[in-house]
Chains A and B, each alone.
Chain A
Amino acid sequence: MKINILKTVRIILALLVFVPLLLFFCDFTGTLPLPFSNLAKVQFVPSVMSGAAAVVIVLLLATLLFGRVYCSVICPLGILQDAVSWFTRRGKKKNRRRKWFDYAKPLNILRYSILAICVGFLVFGIAEPLSWLDPYTNFGKIAVNIFRPVAVGINNLLNWTAVRFGVLNFYHVTLHTVTAISLGVAIFIFLVVGTMALLRGRLFCNTICPVGSLLGLVSRFSAFRISINESKCTSCSLCEKACKSQCINSKEKYVDASRCVACFNCLDRCKSSGVNYRFAWTKTRPEPAIIEPVKAKEFGMTRRSFLATSGAMAATLPIVPAIAKAAAKEVDGSKRTPITPPGSTGLKHFREKCTGCHLCITHCPNQCLKPAGFEFGIQYAFKPHMSYYEKAYCNYNCTICSEVCPNGAIQKLTPEQKTVTQIGIAHFTKERCIVYRDNTSCGACAEHCPVKAVMMVPYKGSLTIPHMTDELCIGCGGCESICPAEPLKAINVWANEVHKTAQKPQEEEVKEINSEDLDFGF
């Protein structure tokens, strides 16, 4: 038996990327160091969004040299699909023949139309189509909304058992950040991608995924690629049966390099060394003449459809922002405009840059970042927003979300910048306040305010009542989260559509006290 070195290397590299990334997405303890987020920062779409040109160029060059290795060893959704099909052993040697793969024609119209739509919209600052189809983002949604809750469930079961035995060293975790909509979307994506992977291998990557289609355009011309040695090939179709991209046509002795994800599964199948991964720079077109017309035809179709789609898109473009604007006019008022995380600079920037991978949601230690549903319009769907409820508010000294965001949607902040970034302003409604309503002490809001934008001022007798200083407020929601007034809170944060800089709390004079001079005082 031949040892398939390339395949082994591919699997090892894939696991080295996939396992840490998956763990980083599922980590509910904050144990893994933040540099793990670099694995998200080398993904294609995040690099495009954050403008990390170097990463994009390296990925494109790698594809030009080695083919779509990105899809096999870097893209977590690609590796997830491999994992799914690995479970069913589809395409494996020892499997029954009907569970093997067969060559399938490329769905060029579909894949290049989708790519064109994504690119076209992106050029005009609308990232929605790309964010809904981006493989990394979709993987993130699956990991955060399905795998992570499973991990937390196991932890809680362990803890439950441990507590029964008097061991209190584990701790229970209650997840508040998985909403019905985010879970529904994640399950939908997982089912679609999973089913496609089960039945047709990398069909998703070769028809729907815009990154796959783009890299496919490059890998057509890649220097190293899988090719069939015609003199040795017996057209036995063993390689074709192993190809999860369904891109080997053994009859025509042709490999579609645009769909090959460089998984190398075919290499050790061939009994006559007829399939090789080798330097083939000059052979940009498949040799057999029979393929030519088919290919040419498909190419023509693609170009035509590309033009048609872009034309149609261009026509609808002015409408989209108009609709968005109309929607934006409707959503005005507390909790009708989403509060975006500190570092996102404002609603517009965040909406354009965030693809909704939910990595920040995973790492927000206070669970105050929650995925939106459709309450802020279709453009904000599934994106995180600041949500203030019991114990969930933005920790004063915390900058984690700005450090993990791979898209540059939340830009990196220093703690100094963070503590004066005003993402919203709290508004106090006296009529709902416990102190006004019940004539009893409360002050929970002021207690939680880290900048003393809410201060308790003398009210009746020994009672004090909240008073706001708007310029100091950073919109962290400490006050709102803890306000005990029901059913409506007496203090609510309203979003700043464009983030502002809050006034730095004035340092009071240090009161020099010499403890030697003090007496007991009682």
Chain B
Amino acid sequence: MERREFLKKSAAVGVAALTFNKLQAALESNSIMVEKAASPDLVAVMGGEPVQLLQRALQEMGGIGKYVKKGQSVVIKPNIGWDKKPQFAATTNPDLVGELVKQCLAAGAKKVSVFDNTCDNWIKCYASSGIKAAAEAAGATVLPANDASYYRDVKLPSGLKMKSGKIHQALVEADVWFNVPVLKNHDGANMSIAMKNYMGIFWDRMYFHNNDLQQCIADACTWSKKPALNIVDAYRCLRTHGPQGRSISDASTLKAIIVSPDIVAADTAAIGLFNQVQTMDLGKVTHIANGEKLKLGTQNINSLTVKRIKL
């Protein structure tokens, strides 16, 4: 009896130790949030190639090492939704994704994974967008996300219309993630930027459309594991006929990038940039206001420390 008791107890202690380790890890990652106050809330860089833009923006945000620690597993979530070449601006710029992978690995990441729950056939999307090739060349693992079996149940307690959902396993298990959308006009949600990009981490997009799309997008962003940064690729933007565009004439080259941990601010700023080439009333993109109501961030850019840089 005593031996059994001993074994039980030691097992319990072991479990407690494991939990403690996790707690400590969580605390450590929280400390990042404290440091962040020292750097700007939002950085926008214009006038360069994708790699340059990202490098400068990350540098201004305090360097990749501030977000990615040695041995962590990282997920990068670009927009790979459509079977389109990069020039259509329907998908995130592959060079930008490649550079981000490279930086994460250089910062000591154990593993960098890239995925998106695509709209078109996933194999075609991964190939046409150039993202699979670029990410793999940089050393990332490009994961399939085409089947419900990859997704795990998560709770969204602060969501109004969507209280739970299924999120890709790789992201549920990741230590850090980056939300890397492309700046697009969108037929359903009016704009598709950082908040809308969340739909691709979930399995069931039908639920979004069936239960007040604009609220569900905001609800999705309330998931407890927030991205370290939202990196809005505005090297090209899709002006009209989004989210996939009809021809290359729907896209424009802006040569810009907007980076912020505040997802509402990032989307608001991106719409400001977008409005110079195509009119889009911020008030029409109601998921952004819905996000502010859920305390995901602020639409009041002036209340933030913003760095605007022209290369």
Contacts and interface: CB of A to CB of B under 8 A. Distances in A.
A508 B249 CA distance: 6
Interface string B239-274: 111111011111011111000000000001101111
B284 interface: yes
A20 interface: no
B153 interface: no
A284 to B, nearest CB: 56
Contacts, number: 151
Contact of B188 (A30, A444, A513): A444
A438 B83 CA distance: 31
Contacts of A290: none
A374 interface: no
Nearest to B168: A168
Contact of B209 (A169, A484, A521): A484
Contact of B187 (A397, A456, A510, A511): A456
Interface stretch (A73-81, A327-335, A445-453): A445-453
Given A172-B147, A452-B246, A462-B284, A434 B186 contact: no
Contacts of A516: 47
Interface residues on B, range: 35 or more
A513 B89 CA distance: 15
Interface stretch (B19-27, B60-68, B96-104, B118-126): B118-126
A509 interface: yes
Interface in B287-303: 301
Interface string B208-219: 011111110000
Contact of B169 (A160, A168, A396): A168
A300 interface: no
Given A174-B147, A521-B272, A434 B209 contact: yes
B212 A395 contact: no
A171 B247 contact: no
B254 A446 contact: no
Interface string B168-187: 01100000000000000011
A442 B188 contact: yes
Interface stretch (B5-13, B29-37, B275-283): B275-283
B272 to A, nearest CB: 3
Contacts of B149: 159-160, 163, 172
A160 to B, nearest CB: 7
Given A447-B243, A516-B47, A169 B83 contact: no
A165 interface: no
B308 interface: yes
Contacts of B246: 450-452, 505
Interface string A468-506: 000000000000001011100000000000000000010
Q: How large is the interface on A (under 10, 10 to 19, 20 to 34, 35 or more residues)?
A: 35 or more
B38 interface: no
A168 B144 contact: yes
A443 B269 contact: no
A450 B250 CA distance: 13
Contacts of A508: 240, 247, 249-250
A108 interface: no
A486 B210 contact: yes
A174 B255 CA distance: 40
Nearest to A485: B210
Interface in A142-182: 159-160, 163, 168-169, 171-174
B143 interface: yes
Given A168-B150, A169-B141, A443-B189, A521 B276 contact: yes
A522 interface: yes
Given A30-B123, A507-B249, A521-B274, A450 B244 contact: yes
A282 interface: no
Contacts of A456: 187-188
Contacts of B253: 513, 515
A440 interface: yes
Contacts of B256: 515, 518, 520
A445 to B, nearest CB: 8
Contacts of B186: 443, 447
A174 B256 CA distance: 40
A482 B254 CA distance: 31
Among A395, A482, A509, A518: residue with most chain B CB under 10 A: A518
A455 B241 CA distance: 8
Contacts of B150: 163, 168, 172
Contacts of B272: 520-522
Contact of A440 (B213, B240, B284): B213
B214 A440 contact: yes
Contacts of A448: 119, 244
Contacts of A286: none
A464 interface: yes
A416 interface: no
A455 B121 CA distance: 22
Given A462-B286, A486-B210, A522 B124 contact: no
Contacts of B275: 521
A515 B254 contact: yes
B83 A396 contact: yes
B83 A395 contact: yes
Interface string A406-448: 0000000000000000000000000000100010111110111
Interface of B: 44, 46-47, 83, 113, 119-121, 123-124, 141, 143-144, 146-147, 149-150, 169-170, 186-190, 205-206, 209-215, 239-244, 246-250, 252-256, 268-269, 271-277, 281, 283-284, 286, 301, 308
Given A438-B212, A441-B190, A513-B254, 11 more contacts: A172-B149, A440-B213, A441-B188, A443-B188, A444-B209, A450-B244, A462-B281, A464-B190, A508-B240, A515-B46, A520-B272
Interface of A: 30, 159-160, 163, 168-169, 171-174, 365-366, 390-391, 395-398, 434, 438, 440-444, 446-448, 450-452, 455-456, 462, 464, 482, 484-486, 505, 507-511, 513, 515-516, 518-522
Q: Which 6 A-B pairs have the closest CB atoms?
A: A443-B188, A522-B272, A171-B144, A446-B187, A521-B272, A172-B147
5 contacts: A172-B146, A511-B277, A513-B253, A521-B275, A522-B301
